[in-house]
Amino acid sequence: MNAERMKRLTARFYRTQADNQPARQWLLGLEPEDRKTVGADMATVEFGWPIGMPVCRPVGRLGLREIRSTIRDGKVEARVIFGIDGQEMIVLHGFEKKPSRQDNEIAAAEDRWRDYKRRKEQEHGKARKTPRG
């Protein structure tokens, strides 16, 4: 059986209007072993959705969730924040957890989620207004 068919969610990285993928860029900046750990935790969510603690929990006020990973030989907590759009996990933001900055990190993810939803709605609006031939 195809692995993609077994997934309950498919991860897709959020793209800015300038076509950057900030969460993907953050992930690629991690050491290979840490990237593997975070990727495995993301796959746990893709294949096991819906899933809760200790891997995943709600954050913020917009229905977003965070994937919780321990990296750097158990010394650092990493977080990946995502939103659900149909059967897709839209990966919005990744960061190393620092309590004094967590609210700012969640706010950045919420801003990206609002941008994603706004641009998606605009695309749907354009598609509906396209003349039929």
Averaged pLDDT for residues 67-78: 96
In angstroms, the Cα distances linking 123 to 20, 26, 34, 62 are 18, 27, 36, 21
- pTM of the prediction? 0.89
Confidence band of 132 (pLDDT split at 50, 70, 90)? low
What does the alpha-carbon distance between residue 31 and residue 45 come to, in Å, rounded to a whole number? Answer: 21
Contacts for 37 with CB less than 8 Å, ≥ 6 apart:
69, 70, 71, 78
User: Which overall architecture, per CATH, does domain 3-126 show?
Assistant: 2-Layer Sandwich (3.30)
Contacts for 95 with CB less than 8 Å, ≥ 6 apart:
26, 78, 79, 101, 105
Per-domain residue ranges for the chain? 3-126
- For 22-64, the pLDDT digits (tens) are 999 999 999 999 999 999 999 999 999 999 999 999 999 999 9
Q: Provide the 8-state DSSP code for 64.
A: E
Containing 81, the helix (H) or strand (E) segment is strand 76-85
What does the alpha-carbon distance between residue 72 and residue 59 come to, in Å, rounded to a whole number? Answer: 23
How many CB atoms are closer than 10 A to CB 107?
12
